[in-house]
Chain A
Amino acid sequence: MQLSVSSLNFSFPTKVVLRDVSFSAHSGEVFGIVGPNGSGKTTLLRCLRLVLSPQGGAITLDDEDVMTWDRSRIARVFGVVPQSTTLTFPFSVFDVVMMGRIPHLGRFQREGAHDISIVRESMKLTSIDHLFERPISQLSGGELQRVIIARALAQEPRVLLLDEPTSQLDINHQFEVMKLVRSFAIEHNMVVIIISHNLNLSLRYCDRLLLLKDGGVHSCGASDEVLTPDNIREVYGVEAQLDYNKRIGAHQLTLIDAIERD
């Protein structure tokens, strides 16, 4: 399975956000989107699932034209872990994960045994099945993020989109979430696209990366070929060193200093 984006453009009335963005992500790999703040990462993810309507360009999943789909069909294919979710209401974990079944249920259809078993499976995959009765208002940050991931899984998606799922988490939970996401790509053959601020986590857990700069594609390819010292300097204005770390089996960046610009 392959999600392809070609020549995607998007502008707000006073600002061009995305220019001519093209890439494709495949099932079985973790595809990362990186770039500085304001480079258009979140907007790109919103355009992919048509929360924002792109002004020109094409989005296809295998041979199907995603841009002609209605909301409910998009929700049956794209599971999303958004940047923020209002979690002040005391819904139980079970209730929230069950909301992932909404796109699959007819308007007058009640949740049945099949839905319960999918919810149970999603909670097991994210190791929150023991929390099912707990109100979400009482959970820790790491647990909450897993609840939202479980909700996305309950949508039985073919494409999983995650917008900075680790930004609010302690480092131990960051690893947990990234490993989890990786297992979905490999074991469940999903297309997984993840926005991340953490370049070293991206180097370690993403197979390929898209580096955005000012709304355009700066570079795209294997993680260690994208996050090179040259590219980091050009996009972030930071001097960095890229080394292979034998112990973790991945390249890691050492950020040295911001470069004075004139």
Chain B
Amino acid sequence: MQDIEAYFHSVRMYRLTVMVGLILFLFAVAILGIMVGPVSISPSTILHIFWMQIPHVGDSVMQTWPHSYTSIVMDVRLPRVLLGMLVGMGLAVSGCAMQGLFRNPMASPYVCGLSSGGAFGAALAVNLGLAYIFLPFFAFLFATLTVFFVYMISRVNNKVPTETLLLSGIALSSFFSALVSLMLYFADQQLERIVFWMMGGLWASTWDKVAVTLPLIVVAVPLFYVLSRELNAMLLGEENATDLGIKVESTKRIILVLTAFTVGACVAVSGVIGFVGLIIPHIARIFVGPDHKILIPASVFVGGIFLILTDTLARTIIMPAELPVGIITSLFGVPFFLYLLRKRKERMGW
């Protein structure tokens, strides 16, 4: 039996190791994502191209590859890999916080009506004949509006019972899905755009989209992390958390707002990518346990890795065409998840 202090430090070392491993893995997966495609580009070429981008220092590199490679890496694949990473991170961290908040393994950003609200916004933009540029904006707007609406409905005497929140989210989610179906039914010509958007995909990833998503993720992830102590205590029950000095109701509000913005940003640039928010936190939980102090950062990185990998698969599996990544995440992610669930069930606590 080890001493408590030794245990405390060994836990910290284990977590540090996991995080370093995940960061390296993420880097490797990102390079892989940039390598493969209609033209394969070697890792050393990719690193050289990166090196070249640094002002002054980069001038010394001897270019030994076709000029077009630079543009493939910098203008096409890098923004796509980055966007995949950001969206994966955002969905995973939101799912993680939702599951903690609701103490419910089924919770995900989509349960609160975020996805169908966003889909409704996108369908509305298309139906109104608005320019493509408005589609993500509408998606974002309606995703966040839905969450606030769900929140307002569930509020009784300034408290928001978790069960009511979950139920009204599911109800509103179905309502918006019906509205989307209705619109699809009437929007015969625009159908393809909406359907593609609802399947979720990272095609047409541009630096502009990265620039929209990056600041939100960079701000939201540390904020979620700061709330990990609250989330841990709330896992033991809301009254327990209150007795440990936590302001439960305001914590709920903050988490909902953060999730709405994070998922809104993801949905706006990539459509409805299913299952990432649901399964990534569970996968992370299997390896690092229920403590949000490690679960949140681990989910963030596993989410990034997962979406880069699945998107790489989505755009290479039927080359030169590509599949919506949402199909791949469900098709490959779910069986993998079920396998893990079966194998390590006892460690998850759910």
Contacts and interface: CB of A to CB of B under 8 A. Distances in A.
Contact of A96 (B2, B236, B349): B236
A130 interface: yes
Interface residues on A, range: 35 or more
Interface in A65-102: 71-76, 78-80, 82, 84-91, 94-96, 99-100, 102
Nearest to B247: A71
A73 B243 CA distance: 10
B243 A80 contact: yes
Contacts of A71: 242, 245-247
B291 interface: yes
B155 interface: no
A58 interface: no
Contact of B244 (A90, A103, A130): A103
Nearest to A87: B236
A116 B8 contact: yes
Contacts of B246: 71, 102
Interface stretch (B43-51, B204-212, B226-234): B226-234
Given A84-B237, A88-B349, A91-B291, A103 B245 contact: yes
B103 A86 contact: yes
Nearest to B227: A107
A94 B247 CA distance: 23
A132 B4 contact: yes
Nearest to A98: B8
A204 to B, nearest CB: 27
Contacts of B247: 71
Contact of A116 (B2, B5, B244, B289): B5
Contacts of A26: none
Nearest to A76: B245
A51 B349 contact: no
B243 A49 contact: yes
Interface residues on B, range: 20 to 34
B329 to A, nearest CB: 26
A251 interface: no
Interface in B245-268: 245-247
A120 B3 CA distance: 10
B271 interface: no
Interface string A36-71: 000000000010010100000000000000000001
Interface centre among B1, B5, B240 (most CB of A within 10 A): B240
Contacts of A100: 244
A79 B244 CA distance: 8
Nearest to B242: A51
Contacts of A132: 4, 7
A99 B289 contact: no
A73 to B, nearest CB: 8
B18 interface: no
A123 B232 CA distance: 20
A51 B237 contact: no
Nearest to A161: B243
6 contacts: A46-B239, A51-B239, A86-B103, A86-B236, A96-B236, A99-B233
5 shortest A-B CB distances, which residue pairs? A75-B245, A103-B245, A72-B245, A80-B243, A89-B349
